[in-house]
Chain A
Amino acid sequence: METFNHLFQGFAVAGTPTNLMIALAGCFLGTVIGLLPGLGPINGVAILLPIAFAMNLPPESALILLCAVYAGCEYGGRISAILINVPGDAGAVMTTMDGFPMARKGLAGPALSISAWSSFVGSMLATIGIVFFAPILSEWAIAFGPAEYFALMVLALSCLGGLVGDSLPKAAVACLLGLLMSCVGIDSNSGVYRFTFDILHLSDGIPFVVIVIGLFAVSELMLMLESHQAGAKPIALTGRMMFNFREWRLQNWATFRSSVVGFFIGVLPGAGATVASAMTYSMERRMAGKDHCFGDGDVRGVAAPEAANNASAYGSLIPMLTLGVPGSGTTAVMIGALTLYNINPGPTLFQDQPLIVWGLIASLFIANIMLLVMNIPMIRLFVKFLDMPNWLLVPLVAAVSLVGVYSVHSTSFDLVFGVLLGGIGYLLRVMNFPISPLILGFVLGDMMEQNLRRALSISNGELSVLFASPISIVLWVGAAAMLIGPRVFRALEERKLRNLGLLAAEDAHVEAG
């Protein structure tokens, strides 16, 4: 009952005219950012975060804006996936598998509307999931001491590091670079200047916004130049726009199942929308039995990954809100937003700042309804954005990014530093270093060090305190498993494939002989 009281208060916060306008603007911008190939939720949130801060929005409004953008991106990513076979963001990769074939068959309208519907169902179920699970988890997490927290952060880093990128050393390097960057500046316990090289601008540490914009926005522009070619023409929207009853009934259960699976995958740190959509797509394909046309324009192949990627995007808000430990790059950026406002994310957030948390949750419900309206009746408006040429888009993004950096401290030092980091970010990304562990490391670094030092202060320097409680042992074991598990699994898969490949090659050889 208490939960519903809080939720009502949340609706009062989210329902003020200003916050409704902000949610609407966020949904619109998010959908546009999501549908533009190359720009995803993390760039969108990164670029808008400093601007929201500079506009002096109160913290709850800023968070509502960022979450609406995040949600909008998950809706927008599918538009370019369906119409030009290029996913707007990583979560929409699976949507191209059946969305584009549907569009080529002249069913672009139904493909877009059914995916909007399944995105809506996925988001709504996940938001309800947040309402029920987040308070429970936050109450449970209050029992965490510094040693448990330290282990939890190691777990979060190793989950993300274990799952993304192609090699463990690269993911580890990314994590470590992020953690090291968080050490720059005055050490808050002793007042010692660390790695500032007598540069005054660095004494407060490297500004979060500079890192985020440099690594995500500036390097993205350079990557766009690399992949810039004559853009594919989007498939024209002709024929009926709405899905019919038969299509609706066909995807119903697929959407429901994928939403639930997607939500729980999202709650786990590390695994995000990309994993969720890939997993549910293959799950539905297997469950469909013989009677399907997956890969050739099956409605379920559009509905399942869309429901899953939206549900997991929302699910990943849970560890961020309840533990203060983000599980993905985008939520790490949002944590950065909270710290800009001097709000300490963590299990006490639900008690200290109930209006912010519940206002945010309520605004997710509102944003979903707005997004459904934008994405079914108003879809033609958004399709027009696919015609935006790169020669206009790239300078626009470049200028908006620097405006964001400038707005925080108004120094050109930050701007130049951000662009330099952008160059480093480009090199790292071209060499397949995953960037999201880096940003997660930077966000968690300070908290990690503080908790480690606190834990060791309590035990007077005895290291065994880190492994003393059952919770922390479970977390350490989990961290080790997440680091090694996915790679062992992948290696086994590869060996199986290679054996099959070898056999096939031998067969061919025998036949040829």
Chain B
Amino acid sequence: MVSERIFGFALLLLSVAGILIGWDLRAPVEYEPVGPRAFPLLLLTLLGVTAVVMIVSRPAPTKWAPPPVLRHVAALFVVMLVYAWLFDKLGFIVATALMTVPVARYFGGTWRQCVLGGIGLGVGQFFLFDKILDVALPTGLWLKPFLG
């Protein structure tokens, strides 16, 4: 109930902000009756109306996972975010190995499985994609001399 309301207000805010930004979207030379701003403004208005409907109506309350699980989910999100950021900086193999350890831990792997799995996934997928399937992956600068 509460989370729906909050989300409804967030959507309302989004639609108002969008309308304020979108109001100035005008083409320098208008040669057609409908310019670039009409469609987004229409959508944003509809979004605002539905957000209000969501706030005033009483939808079924969301069932959130228990707090310890939510903490894990949040941690997984952060790990993925860091993984995405380090993906091309550390290179695929190292980044994947590092990502696998905490993620596999959350899903019940033992430390041994996590470390071996991480190295296996990193190296194995690198060769599968980069060497066999021709999908270029980042090596990270420092690995370059070893992989050719």
Q: Interface of A with B (CB < 8 Å)?
A: 51, 54-56, 166-167, 169-170, 172-173, 176-177, 179-180, 183, 187, 189-192, 194-195, 218, 221-222, 224-226, 228, 389-396, 398-400, 402-403, 406-407, 410, 412, 415-416, 418-420, 422-423, 426-427, 430-432, 448-449, 452-453, 456-457, 460-461
Residues of B within 8 A of A389 (CB): 107-109
Give me 19 A-to-B residue pairs in the complex whose CB atoms sit less than 8 angstroms apart, sorted by A's number.
A54-B134, A55-B134, A173-B47, A177-B47, A187-B25, A189-B36, A225-B73, A225-B76, A392-B104, A394-B104, A394-B106, A395-B99, A399-B125, A400-B125, A412-B88, A416-B84, A420-B81, A426-B77, A456-B32
* B22 at the A interface (CB under 8 A): yes
Known A-B contacts A225-B72, A452-B34; A394 and B107 likewise in contact (beta carbons under 8 Å): yes
Contact yes or no, B138 A226, CB < 8 A:
no
Contact yes or no, A396 B121, CB < 8 A:
yes
Residues of B within 8 A of A420 (CB): 81
Question: Number of residues in B with C-beta < 8 Å to the partner?
Answer: 75
Contacts of B34-66 to chain A: CB distance below 8 A: 34-40, 43-44, 46-47, 50-51, 53-54, 57, 59-60, 62-65
Given A403-B92, A412-B85, list of 8 further CB < 8 A pairs? A55-B133, A192-B26, A192-B27, A194-B40, A398-B83, A403-B137, A410-B136, A431-B7
Contact yes or no, B117 A392, CB < 8 A:
yes
Contacts of B115-146 to chain A: CB distance below 8 A: 117-118, 121-122, 125, 129, 133-138
Contact yes or no, A410 B88, CB < 8 A:
yes
Residues of B within 8 A of A430 (CB): 62-65
The CA of A191 and the CA of B114, in the complex, are separated in Å by: 50
The CA of A179 and the CA of B54, in the complex, are separated in Å by: 19
Most buried by B among A195, A395, A412: A395
Residues of B within 8 A of A395 (CB): 96, 99-100, 103-104, 117-118, 121
Contact yes or no, A456 B21, CB < 8 A:
no
The CA of A427 and the CA of B103, in the complex, are separated in Å by: 20
Residues of B within 8 A of A431 (CB): 3-4, 7, 62
Contact yes or no, B135 A55, CB < 8 A:
yes
Contact yes or no, A406 B137, CB < 8 A:
yes
Residues of A within 8 A of B87 (CB): 402, 406, 412, 415
* B69 at the A interface (CB under 8 A): yes
Q: How far is the CB of B68 from chain A (nearest CB, A)?
A: 11
Contact yes or no, A170 B59, CB < 8 A:
yes
The CA of A318 and the CA of B94, in the complex, are separated in Å by: 44
The CA of A400 and the CA of B100, in the complex, are separated in Å by: 12
The CA of A452 and the CA of B33, in the complex, are separated in Å by: 11
Contact yes or no, B33 A456, CB < 8 A:
yes
Contact yes or no, B69 A195, CB < 8 A:
no
Contact yes or no, B36 A194, CB < 8 A:
yes
